[in-house]
C-alpha cells in the first residue's frame, strides 16, 4: 500500500499471492508442446504462495487442458470483443474460452496494441474486451507499459495511466478481484533487456498508487501487478523480492524448463 510519502510497503502475509504466468505467444506444435508439458509435469511441487498459469495459442488450449498438471491454470492470449455467438468470423469469444475450461485470458499485450501489419488495439478496445471476459467468468491479465522513447522522455506513468483509465471506467470495484495488471516495458520484451529491480519497483509502486487514487485503496492493496519484461530464472528472485512486484508474465523462459526457476524464485 502507498505510504504518505508515496513509497510502498509489502502486502500483508497472504494478501497477494504471486502470479507467475507463461505467455507462449505464437510458439509450439503438438509435438513440442507434449515435450514441454512433460517437463512441467515433472518439475516438482509449486510453492504454496505461487499461482501458476500458462497462456498458449488458442488452437492448443485443448491439448494443455487435457495433459498439463492440474495445479497449473490454462489461459488464452486474447479474446474477441463479442459477448455472444454470431457473425464474427475468426474471433474466439471469451464465453467459448471459458466453456472449454480455461481460467485466464491475456488482454492488451503490447504486441497486440502495436498490431501485426494492421492497426493495433486501442485502450478503449482493450477495456471493452476485459469487460466481456469478466462477464464470461474469466480472469484477466491486463497488460500495460511504455516504449523505450517514452521511458527516456519521462512519460512512463502517463502512458500507463492512459491505458488504465478506460479499464477503470468499465469495472466495478468488485470486478478488480478478477484482474491482474501485467506491467511490461515494451523495450524489455524479447530484447534481453530488463528493467533493474529498482526501476521495475518504482513503476509498480506508481501503478499501485494510481489505482489507490483512482479506484480505491482496498483494490490497490489486493490487485496483483506482474512484471513482464524478460523475466527469467536468473533475475526472478531479485525482481520478485520487490514489495510491489507480485509475479511475472513470462515469455521466452516459459518455453523451457527455466520457467520453473521463475516459479521457485518467489520469496517464501
Annotated catalytic residue: which of 51, 121, 146, 184? 184
What number of other Cβ atoms are within 10 A of residue 11's Cβ? 17
Q: How far separated are the first and last CA of the chain, in Å rounded? A: 20
Pick from 75, 71, 73: nearest CA to 60: 75
Q: Angle at CA 234, nearest 5°, toward 231 and 239?
A: 50
> What pLDDT does 145 receive?
95
Parallel, antiparallel, or unpaired for β 72-76 and 104-107? parallel
pLDDT at position 193: 73
Residue 257 · residue 39 · CB < 8 Å: yes
Q: How many structural domains is the chain composed of? A: 1
Distance of alpha carbon 40 from alpha carbon 59, whole angstroms: 20
179: helix, coil or strand?
strand
CA distances for 115 relative to 111, 118, 121, 218, angstroms: 6, 5, 7, 35
* 164 within domain boundaries: yes
The residue to which cell 519497483 is assigned = 201
Q: What CATH number has the domain bearing residue 248? A: 3.20.20.70
d(CA 90, CA 69): 29
In whole angstroms, what is the distance from residue 124 CA to residue 201 CA?
27
Of the listed 51, 109, 121, 204, which one is catalytic?
109
User: What range does the domain containing 236 cover?
Assistant: 18-264
pLDDT value, residue 1 = 33
Say which residue the cell 466481456 belongs to.
Answer: 132
Alpha carbons 257 and 266: distance in angstroms, whole number: 16
Residue 232, domain member (yes or no):
yes
CA pseudo-torsion sign 236, 239, 241, 247: negative
> Does some domain include residue 217?
yes
Beta bridge mates, 18: 50
pTM > 0.75: yes
| pLDDT given at position 261 | 98
Residue 4 lies in a domain: no
Tens place of pLDDT for every residue, the chain, 268 residues?
A: 333 333 444 454 447 999 999 999 999 999 999 999 999 999 999 999 999 999 999 999 999 999 999 999 999 999 999 999 999 999 999 999 999 999 999 999 999 999 999 999 999 999 999 999 999 999 999 999 999 899 889 999 999 999 999 999 999 999 999 999 999 998 887 777 778 999 999 999 999 999 999 999 999 999 999 999 889 999 999 999 999 999 999 999 999 999 999 999 999 8
**Position 11 in a domain:** no
pLDDT computed for residue 134 by the predictor: 98
Whether 141 and 106 have beta carbons less than 8 Å apart is answered as yes
- Give domain status of residue 111, yes or no: yes
13 in a domain, yes or no? no
**What nine digits make up the cell of 230?**
524478460
Cell of 215: 479506484
Residue 169 lies in a domain: yes
Which residue, chain included where needed, has cell 491486463? 142
Let me know if 109 is a catalytic residue: yes
| CB neighbourhood size of 90 (10 A) | 5
DSSP class per residue in 57-121: -GGGHHHHHHHS-TTEEEEES---S--SSSS-TT---HHHHHHTT--EEEE--HHHHH-SSS---
Q: What pLDDT sits at residue 148?
A: 86
Do 54 and 68 contact (CB within 8 A), yes or no? Answer: yes
Amino acid at each position: 500500500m502507498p505510504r504518505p510519502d508515496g513509497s510502498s510497503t509489502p502486502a500483508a502475509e497472504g494478501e497477494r499471492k504471486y502470479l507467475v504466468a507463461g505467455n507462449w505467444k505464437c510458439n509450439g506444435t503438438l509435438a513440442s508442446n507434449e515435450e514441454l508439458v512433460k517437463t512441467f509435469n515433472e518439475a516438482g511441487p509449486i510453492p504454496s504462495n505461487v499461482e501458476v498459469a500458462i497462456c498458449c495459442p488458442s488452437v492448443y488450449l485443448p491439448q494443455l487442458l487435457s495433459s498439463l498438471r492440474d495445479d497449473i491454470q490454462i489461459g488464452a492470449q486474447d479474446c474477441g470483443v463479442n459477448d455472444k455467438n454470431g457473425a464474427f468470423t475468426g474471433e474466439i469469444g471469451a464465453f467459448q474460452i471459458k466453456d472449454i475450461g480455461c481460467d485466464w485470458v491475456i488482454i492488451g499485450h503490447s504486441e497486440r496494441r502495436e498490431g501485426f501489419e494492421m492497426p493495433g488495439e486501442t485502450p478503449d478496445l482493450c477495456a471493452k474486451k476485459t469487460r466481456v471476459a469478466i462477464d464470461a467468468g474469466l480472469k484477466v491479465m491486463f497488460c500495460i507499459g511504455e516504449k523505450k522513447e517514452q521511458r527516456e522522455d519521462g512519460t512512463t506513468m502517463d502512458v500507463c495511466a492512459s491505458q488504465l483509465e478506460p479499464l477503470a471506467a468499465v469495472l466495478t470495484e468488485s470486478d478488480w478481484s478478477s484482474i491482474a495488471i501485467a506491467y511490461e516495458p515494451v523495450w524489455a520484451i524479447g530484447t534481453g533487456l530488463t528493467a533493474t529491480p529498482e526501476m521495475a519497483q518504482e513503476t509498480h509502486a506508481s501503478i499501485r498508487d494510481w489505482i489507490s487514487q483512482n479506484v480505491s485503496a482496498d483494490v490497490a492493496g489486493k490487485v496483483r501487478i506482474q512484471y513482464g519484461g524478460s523475466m527469467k530464472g536468473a533475475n526472478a528472485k531479485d525482481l520478485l523480492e520487490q514489495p510491489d512486484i507480485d509475479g511475472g508474465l513470462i515469455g521466452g523462459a516459459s518455453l523451457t524448463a527455466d520457467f520453473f526457476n521463475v516459479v521457485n524464485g518467489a520469496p517464501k
